[in-house]
Amino acid sequence: MKQNRNTYGFSLIEVMVVITVMITVLALGTSYITGKSAQRRSVDGVTNNISSMLQLGKLKSVRDGVEYRVVFARCDDIDESDPDCPFCKTDADYVEYQDGDKEVSLILERGDSNLSSTFWCIQSAHSKKFQSDLTLVASANLGQAGEPLNFTFVPNGMRRDFGTDAGSETLTIRPANDSKVENCGQLSVSPAGGITAAEGKWNGSNCIPILDSGAQPTPGPF
């Protein structure tokens, strides 16, 4: 009787090809997930760090009985002649965040009054690196004419210099229009000084919260 020598298994080369394809697909998938995770951590980290700085400014204002403000800028010309009160020489020396920058800078400043301070001493300055295709969108009322973007706290809440405007002020950290990032964060400060931070997904026009983040983060520096 003639023996049938046909085989129906895979050759070694075929097995190696399949393994190579599987490894490539797995690597691509892992890279994608890692990238998305890094974007999420970047946005969430900035949101929570800004919230911490706001909490710190609020607590110091209540404790010291004077205004404190968190300025969203760096200062390129600091007068340090008085070591107890370094200050940014002019409003023009504050450099605010611009779309495309790879870090956002914050300055915590102490005012010279409990309302309508005219002089600000720098208490600390911090910077946080993040995805360069993010942008910051703030309420139109944050910062007076000529001043950099800032939240200003008084001992009993947030400074209100805006006439009949009695709503909360917000800051949204969102993707740039041409960005592939889907994540966003939003901070809100009420007239009474209540601070909330929400992490969410950007739907093209709004930051939709993905969890209840009403719990306040522990105040602290970057």
Nearest to residue 192, comparing CAs of 220, 209, 164, 169? 169
Other C-beta atoms within 10 Å of 78: how many? 15
Residue-level pLDDT at 100: 77
Q: Is the confidence at residue 163, as pLDDT, over 60?
A: no
Burial of 158 (0-12, 13-18, 19+ CB in 10 A): buried
Which run of H or of E encompasses 183?
strand 183-189
Q: Is the confidence at residue 90, as pLDDT, over 70?
A: yes
Residue-level pLDDT at 211: 63
More confident residue, 176 or 2: 176
Q: For residues 109 and 4, what is the distance between their CA atoms, to the nearest angstrom?
A: 88
* Contact indicator for 112, 119 with CB cutoff of 8 Å: yes
Query: Of 22-31, 119-128, 160-169, 175-184, which has the strongest mean pLDDT?
Result: 119-128
Q: Is the confidence at residue 59, as pLDDT, over 60?
A: yes
> Tokens in use for 28?
């691509």
Other C-beta atoms within 10 Å of 46: how many? 22
Instruction: Give the model's confidence band at 157: pLDDT under 50 very low, under 70 low, under 90 confident, else very high.
Output: confident
Beta-ladder partners of 189 = 169, 195
Mean pLDDT of 47-70: 91
Look at the block and give the residue holding tokens 């309508």. 116
Residue-level pLDDT at 167: 75
Nearest to residue 217, comparing CAs of 192, 191, 199? 199
3-state SS class at 44: helix
Give 179-195 pLDDT, tens digit per residue.
Answer: 777 888 998 888 888 88
Sheet containing 134-138: which strands, arranged edge to edge? 134-138, 169-175, 183-189, 195-202, 207-209
Q: Is the confidence at residue 3, as pLDDT, over 70?
A: no
Instruction: Give the model's confidence band at 35: pLDDT under 50 very low, under 70 low, under 90 confident, else very high.
Output: very low
Percent of the chain with pLDDT over 70: 73
3-state SS class at 150: strand
Residue-level pLDDT at 32: 43
For the chain, how long is the longest CA-to-CA vector? 108
pTM of the model: 0.73
In the chain, what are the domain boundaries? 40-209
Q: Is the confidence at residue 31, as pLDDT, over 50?
A: no
Q: For residues 35 and 50, what is the distance between their CA atoms, to the nearest angstrom?
A: 23
More confident residue, 41 or 32: 41
Instruction: Give the model's confidence band at 76: pLDDT under 50 very low, under 70 low, under 90 confident, else very high.
Output: very high
Give 112-156 pLDDT, tens digit per residue.
Answer: 998 888 899 999 998 887 766 778 888 876 766 678 888 889 888
Q: For residues 187 and 171, what is the distance between their CA atoms, to the nearest angstrom?
A: 5
Note the CATH number of domain 40-209.
3.55.40.10
Residue-level pLDDT at 64: 94
Which run of H or of E encompasses 161?
none
